[in-house]
Chains A and B, each alone.
Chain A
Amino acid sequence: EPEVTQTPSHQVTQMGQEVILRCVPISNHLYFYWYRQILGQKVEFLVSFYNNEISEKSEIFDDQFSVERPDGSNFTLKIRSTKLEDSAMYFCASMGWGETQYFGPGTRLLVL
Chain B
Amino acid sequence: DQQVKQNSPSLSVQEGRISILNCDYTNSMFDYFLWYKKYPAEGPTFLISISSIKDKNEDGRFTVFLNKSAKHLSLHIVPSQPGDSAVYFCAAITQGGSEKLVFGKGTKLTVNP
Contact = CB atoms under 8 A, between A and B. Distances in A.
Interface of A: 4, 6, 31, 33, 35, 41-45, 48, 50, 55-56, 58, 91, 93, 99-106
Contact of B44 (A43, A44, A48, A58): A43
A100 B34 contact: yes
A35 B89 CA distance: 14
Interface string B8-43: 000000000000000000000000101010000111
A4 B100 contact: no
19 contacts: A33-B100, A41-B105, A42-B103, A42-B104, A43-B44, A43-B89, A50-B99, A56-B98, A91-B43, A91-B44, A99-B49, A99-B95, A100-B34, A100-B49, A103-B36, A103-B45, A105-B42, A106-B42, A106-B43
A102 B36 CA distance: 10
A104 B43 contact: yes
Interface in B80-112: 89, 91, 93, 95, 98-106
B101 A45 contact: yes
Question: By DSSP majority rule, is chain A's interface helix, strand, loop, or mixed?
Answer: strand
B50 to A, nearest CB: 11
Nearest to B103: A43
Given A102-B46, A106-B42, 14 more contacts: A4-B43, A6-B43, A33-B99, A33-B100, A33-B101, A41-B105, A42-B89, A55-B99, A56-B99, A93-B43, A99-B49, A101-B101, A103-B36, A103-B45
B-side interface size class: 20 to 34
Give 8 closest A-B pairs by Cβ, nearest first: A45-B100, A103-B43, A43-B103, A48-B99, A42-B105, A103-B44, A105-B43, A99-B32
B45 A31 contact: no
A100 B33 CA distance: 10
A41 B87 CA distance: 12
Contact of B106 (A42, A48, A58, A93): A42
